Structure 1
Amino acid sequence: MRNSALAWLGHPLTVIAVVLLLLNDHLFKPLWPGTVTGKLSDVAGLIVAPLLVNLFICRPRVSVLLTGAAFTLVKTTAIGAALASEAWTLVWGPSQVLADPTDLIALPALYVTWWTWNHPEARAVRLARAVVVIPVTVLAVAATGQVEIVKPYSAYAVDVIDGMIVVATRGGLSAGPAERGYASSDAGSSWLSWVVQVPPLPRTSACVPGQPDRCYRIVPAKLKVEESRNGQWVTAWEISPSDQDRLARAYAPESPEDAEAVASLGIAIQKLPGGYVVVVANGADGIALRDISGAWHRLGWAEKGFDSGSAVSLTAPGRYEDSVPMAALLAALAAGLVALGCGVRRFGFAVAALMLWVGVWSFYSGVNTPILFNPFAVLFAIVLVPVGATSMIVSAVRGATRLRVWAIGTATAAVAYYAIMTPFYAWSAGWLEYYSLASGLSIALGIAAASAGTLAVINLKGPQRGLS
């Protein structure tokens, strides 16, 4: 029976499922995250998991049923997902398994594994394969649940508990606590980790203890605090909207769905001998603190708690996405190729230019992935780029393209690149107030540069050549 169990692992469908599981979790998921790759892992995992269970209990039917029951429990209950996460974390390090009832659509895959048990191959061949497949299968199944997620840090609430300032935060490794706190007993000069139950809704206003007419409140969606004076609300502390926009870009995560607000979210007041301290939770920017003298300070994220020296400087260059220069290069290349195409006016040149552009884009996509690189995209680019470039040159020579056309096409690409990037340079230096304004200007200037180059080629005097 033990030999039969080992042989089950060597079935061709089992080997295919193991390879698919490894490729999907370590290549396809980072490249194309989404429903398809997520469900593919479930299907492949359900095919191979019962085989590993059977190695210990030697009961194929029971192994399949146990796998199906465990999968259903994990995917439909919070406690099942939590237990699975803890188990994988204990064995393989920080891991996260999510409950998702839609994953139950993969349950029919259990029939595939049962079919492989009932339709064996030649025993000697299967046993030889199993020696290699077993360790790879264990690694594949274990690795599919292993994921280390780093969420952006955010201070989302603040309170005064037992005389101490307590700031509730979230973010960090998924294996750690989803929410935690930092406490300070010396008006924010030092901090220590503090596990505490925080209010479900942050306080948006607070009054100084013993002074009901002296209150502070945050302004929603802004980095701004107002205080009551003589029955009126006036600004006590504020970061300008343009500076707030730059700070939001400084904390922009890789995934838009992980973005945390850069805005005042909660406020609390600590009464001290001789005065009081106001603390404001500012989301991804950390906290703002009004000390006992009345001066306001921004405190950024430190190794333990918050520190004024860790706050992002408002005079630092603005941070735009790392993908912007490459996107500008691809757009500029397209502009130059279109201008050249209007001068060459040959169908073969247009096809070759498209091949070159797709090859450059494919290479960029292949080397800028969460994994080291996408070998398929890179190999595709290695083929397309030289073929496209060579075909362009041949087509242009056959069409007796003038040197002036090449000069204008090249100049169009160069001008288009800097036309696209200049607004981002200006925003980064502080000459433009908002990132959205830089993006809009970038698009407008890029189109203008591309259009000017194309019109310059079209208006060149000379004989007209038709498509060939």
Structure 2
Amino acid sequence: MGWLGHPLTVIAVVVLLLNDHLFKALWPGPVTGKLSDFAGLIVAPPLLNLLIRRPRVSILLTGAAFTLVKTTAVGAVLASEAWTLVWGPSRVLADPTDLIALPALYAAWWTWNRPGARAVRLARAAVLIPVTVLAVAATGAADIFRPYSAYAVDVVDGMIVVSTRGGSSMGPPATNFASSDGGNSWSSWAVPVPSLPRTSACVPDQPDRCYRIVPDRLKVEESRNGRWVTAWEISPSGQDRLTRAHATKFPEDTEAVASLGIAIQKFSGGYVVVVANGADGIALRDTAGAWRRLGWAEDGFDYSNAVSLSAQGRVEDSVPMAALLAALAAGLVTLGCGVRRFGFAAAALTLWAGVWLFYTGVNTPILFDPYAVLLAVVLVPVGGISTMVSAVRGGIRIRAWAISTATAAVAYYAVMMPFSAWSAGWLGYYSLASGLSIVLGIAVTSAGVLAVIKLNTRRPAPPLQPHADDPDQ
């Protein structure tokens, strides 16, 4: 425990706490990143020594583990999983340049060989053990970014205030934004506002003139002559396009793109209506009655930053790989109808599963899933070679090879085509593109299968029989 209480170790603990909880957020970059590595290598050996009671071994193990984590993807993954198991979602990145911090182990060795007053060391250690554990754990915390979302709006002290959430988990928390000029300019607002959004509001001094949002839609209705009529809306297909534009890699991080809150402010020349539209920002009705969408800006919202409804739609990153997997399946099924062997079916399934496992293994919240990738490295070559051998032994025709290859190629473009059409605005809904891609993929595969079956059912024409009147008979 005395080693942990050395003044240099105490300084390293303080540096870890300040760097990981403050400096990285204020000045992100290689300097603050490497600073945590230097401080961590000074702190980790005495902390490890509490368990194994071997100072030299503690220093060597710390250096070996640090090198493994920073130079290999497997080491980084194992470290990420270890931190996640103990401290929650975490991510450790492999970066060989971090090895520049290894000389800090000499400082750890030096502190072990330069003990101070025993009583002081023990007193420090008794306090520092829990603090040190938390400081070291902070380095493993994952920087999780959630998209910004405007979820409520209110009028406070004569100002329009929009409540927001989201941002980096390692950066400053999301703030509120306020406007005193009817939404023309915005600034940060530190005073909290009610967290529950209002779904309807009336114009001050005009209780019969009210506005309300429509649940799950980008739509506002106003009361007119005793009934509700549409005041502003984005069409369902346009809302679908905006939802895709604000989609995140992981569905659990996605924020709603819909009208969530509304407020009205009396203003010179009339009144303004502000609607919180989730990840899309806000919508604003000015005193002239014109509605416009405002996208996210550094200091609030801006008209020019609103996502254009005429821009190309954003297709999910997984779609091309899904199309490739569908094309591989189409080609293998088509070829299998020409081989007609159980061994080929098993080999083809092994090959396809290997490709799928590799894709899922390298697309995880951490670097990759080592178990899935290692299994894929085995399955792909085994399945590929077995598929080729089984097809050759089955006496597959050259034409069948050509048909299966063409089927796979056409299937890929058939699956991708509806998404390209949706992105260009030719299809209204993303779900329609998804359904159409499935139908086209099945149709192309069926055509390839029928072509191979027809090829196999053809028989050579029987030889011509000589005519009875032939003089040569």
Residue of structure 1 equivalent to 2:331: 336
SS at match of 1:288: strand
Structure 2 distance, partners of 1:214, 1:233, is 10
Residue of structure 2 equivalent to 1:242: 237
Q: Given the alignment of the two structures, is residue 354 of structure 1 paired with residue 349 of structure 2, yes or no? A: yes
Give the CA deviation at 1:38: 3.6
Q: Given the alignment of the two structures, is residue 39 of structure 1 paired with residue 85 of structure 2, yes or no? A: yes
Give the CA deviation at 1:381: 5.0
- Structure 2: segments with no counterpart, 5+ residues: 4-45, 89-107, 460-473
Q: Quick one: structure 1 residues 9 and 232, their matched pair in 2 at CA, closer, same or farther if it must change by over 3 Å?
A: farther
SS at match of 1:182: strand
Give the CA deviation at 1:443: 1.9
Structure 2 distance, partners of 1:232, 1:337, is 60
Structure 2 distance, partners of 1:18, 1:286, is 45
Give the CA deviation at 1:364: 3.2
SS at match of 2:329: helix
SS at match of 2:272: strand
Structure 1 distance, partners of 2:190, 2:370, is 46
Q: What is the letter of the counterpart of residue 26 of structure 1? A: A
Give the CA deviation at 1:167: 0.8
How many residues align? The count is 384
Structure 1 distance, partners of 2:286, 2:360, is 49
Structure 2 distance, partners of 1:64, 1:460, is 81
SS at match of 1:460: helix
- TM-score (norm: length of structure 1): 0.71
Give the CA deviation at 1:315: 1.0
Residue of structure 2 equivalent to 1:123: none
Structure 2 distance, partners of 1:347, 1:64, is 67
1:38-57 equivalent positions in 2, closer than 5 A:
38-39=84-85
Q: Given the alignment of the two structures, is residue 209 of structure 1 paired with residue 232 of structure 2, yes or no? A: no
What percent of counterpart residues are identical? 65
Residue of structure 2 equivalent to 1:268: 263
Residue of structure 2 equivalent to 1:143: 139
SS at match of 2:264: strand
Query: Alignment partner for residue 223 of structure 2, among 212, 221, 228?
Result: 228
Q: Given the alignment of the two structures, is residue 26 of structure 1 paired with residue 72 of structure 2, yes or no? A: no
Structure 2 distance, partners of 1:62, 1:350, is 69
* Deviates most, 235-244 or 199-208: 199-208
Q: Quick one: structure 1 residues 407 and 40, their matched pair in 2 at CA, closer, same or farther if it must change by over 3 Å?
A: farther
Structure 2 distance, partners of 1:198, 1:288, is 19
Give the CA deviation at 1:17: 12
Structure 1 distance, partners of 2:79, 2:226, is 58
* Deviates most, 173-182 or 62-71: 62-71
Contact 1:202–1:267 (CA<8 Å) still a contact in 2? yes
SS at match of 1:293: coil
Give the CA deviation at 1:165: 1.1
Residue of structure 2 equivalent to 1:279: 274
- TM-score (norm: length of structure 2): 0.70
Query: Alignment partner for residue 162 of structure 1, among 153, 157, 163?
Result: 157
Contact 2:154–2:160 (CA<8 Å) still a contact in 1? yes
Contact 2:188–2:299 (CA<8 Å) still a contact in 1? yes
SS at match of 1:325: helix
Structure 1 distance, partners of 2:203, 2:327, is 58
Query: Alignment partner for residue 425 of structure 1, among 420, 423, 426?
Result: 420
Structure 1 distance, partners of 2:292, 2:298, is 18
Residue of structure 2 equivalent to 1:10: 57
Cα displacement string for residues 11-36 of structure 1 (whole angstroms, at most 9, x for unaligned residues):
79x87996899588931587xx8xx9
Query: Alignment partner for residue 396 of structure 2, among 395, 401, 417?
Result: 401
Residue of structure 2 equivalent to 1:392: 387
Largest Rg, 1 or 2: 2
Q: CA RMSD in A?
A: 3.9
Contact 1:24–1:37 (CA<8 Å) still a contact in 2? no
Q: Given the alignment of the two structures, is residue 448 of structure 1 paired with residue 463 of structure 2, yes or no? A: no
